[in-house]
Amino acid sequence: MKMAPQDVKPTRSELLEIKKRIKLTQSGYKILKMKRDGLILEFFKILEEAKQIRGKIQKDYDDAMKKATIAEAVDGAIAVHSAAFARRSHPEISLRSRNLMGIVVPKIDATLVKSTVDQRGYGIIGTSTYIDEATAAFEKLVETMVQAAEIETTMKKLLDEIEKTKRRVNALEYKVIPELKESESFIQLRLEEMERENTFRLKRIKNKATARAAAEAAAAMA
Amino acid sequence: MMEFAVLGSEEFTLGFRLAGVRRVYAVRPEEYEAKLLELTEDSTLGILAINSSDLTTVSAHGRRKAMENISPVVIQVGGEEDDLREKVKSAIGVDLYKSESD
């Protein structure tokens, strides 16, 4: 539990300890501030990519849905459904990780996303080009989504780290360092006060001793 | 190896079946949130695709849990990525997704 500045022991060793802690905290604060700035720079680098990929997803999705609707209208829902259930190849995702300023971010790769007509598993004669076009459009959408997953996850992780670092920087700047400084000045004031009290006490003792010596001298004279 | 999954209405998921996605979950709106939360716990999934408009039926807690999930990554299609926009706003303090026309 954190102690109030008045709860610390007003001793020289405690003052030295607090001074050491202030120095350490200030260097930690500077490092965290640099980390926060570095993370924000990385974030801005990725932001443009994220905006572009979001636009691409939207475009690919609209295109794919349009083509699927046309395929259903021309060939009928049953033909589209049977083509969908006949698919042989299935997209697979591999997740690796990489380090970005101390944050582990994913590197996502996908295999078997795009396929040729003969790899799709449904008959060429029984289906129309509209189904092929819709399939190709959805394969393109899946590919874009895999790219977006990597970028958006990196962005989410960066944002979490930025928030965490910001909170730490603020805690050091507005709470920890001011409290330590307050404790430091409290101990300094207390030590000065104790020194003044001591000087005063010594002076009184000296005065008393002088007075006693004078009294004794006077008594001897009489 | 992980898999790609899709959650949504029959209409939304059909195209993904055409693209060869095996893990397709076509659910009714009342079952949507439970299924979404169940899939976000599935470690065999790498990416989960959902429709942005379906997210309006999900509670704020469920939505936040799903969108902050990393494994699988939940990707919205068919609308704006408002959750990411909000996250940027709270972390950076400025709405960086705001265009000049907004």
pLDDT band at A3 (very low <50, low <70, confident <90, very high): low
Q: What is the pLDDT of residues A144-165, one digit of tens each?
A: 999 998 998 899 889 999 999 9
Better pLDDT: B80 or A127: A127
Indicate the residue of A81, A95, A153 with minimum beta-carbon distance to B2: A95
pLDDT band at A101 (very low <50, low <70, confident <90, very high): confident
Distance of CA A81 to the CA centre of its chain: 45
Does A47 touch chain B if contact means CB atoms closer than 8 Å? yes
Cβ-in-10-Å burial (0-12, 13-18, 19+) of A27 comes to exposed
Does A165 touch chain B if contact means CB atoms closer than 8 Å? no
Can you give the pLDDT at residue A1?
46
Model's pTM, two decimal places? 0.78
Contact across the interface for B19 and A135, Cβ inside 8 Å: yes
State what percent of residues in chain B have pLDDT above 90.
22
State what percent of residues in chain A have pLDDT above 90.
57
State what percent of residues in chain A have pLDDT above 70.
94
pLDDT band at A16 (very low <50, low <70, confident <90, very high): very high
Better pLDDT: A89 or A76: A76
* Average pLDDT score over residue span A204-209: 95
Close Cβ partners of B94 (under 8 Å, ≥ 6 residues apart)? none
Closest C-alpha to A81, from A7, A157, A134, A17: A134
Reading the block at residue A44, the tokens are: 């801005």
Residue A22 identity = I
Does A46 touch chain B if contact means CB atoms closer than 8 Å? no
Can you give the pLDDT at residue B57?
85
Cα distance between residue B84 and residue A158, in whole Å: 12
Indicate the residue of B2, B16, B92 with minimum beta-carbon distance to A93: B2
Mean pLDDT score across all residues of chain A: 89
Residues A54, A76: contact at Cβ < 8 Å?
A: no
Choice among A169-173, A198-202, B44-48, B55-59 with the minimum mean pLDDT: B55-59
Better pLDDT: A3 or A16: A16
Residue B17 to chain A, least CA–CA distance (Å): 5
Given a cut of 60, is residue A2 above it in pLDDT? no
- What phi and psi, each to the nearest 5 degrees, are found at residue A95? -110, 120
Better pLDDT: A132 or A185: A185
Q: What is the pLDDT of residues A23-75, one digit of tens each?
A: 999 999 999 999 999 999 999 999 998 889 988 999 999 999 999 999 989 98
Given a cut of 80, is residue A18 above it in pLDDT? yes
Can you give the pLDDT at residue B100?
55
Q: What is this model's ipTM?
A: 0.86
**In this structure, how many other beta carbons lie within 10 angstroms of the beta carbon of residue A220?**
7
What is the interface size between A and B, counted as CB pairs within 8 Å?
Answer: 123
- CB contacts, 8 Å: A117 with chain B: none
In chain A, alpha helices (H): 12-75, 77-85, 129-171, 177-221
Better pLDDT: B10 or A17: A17
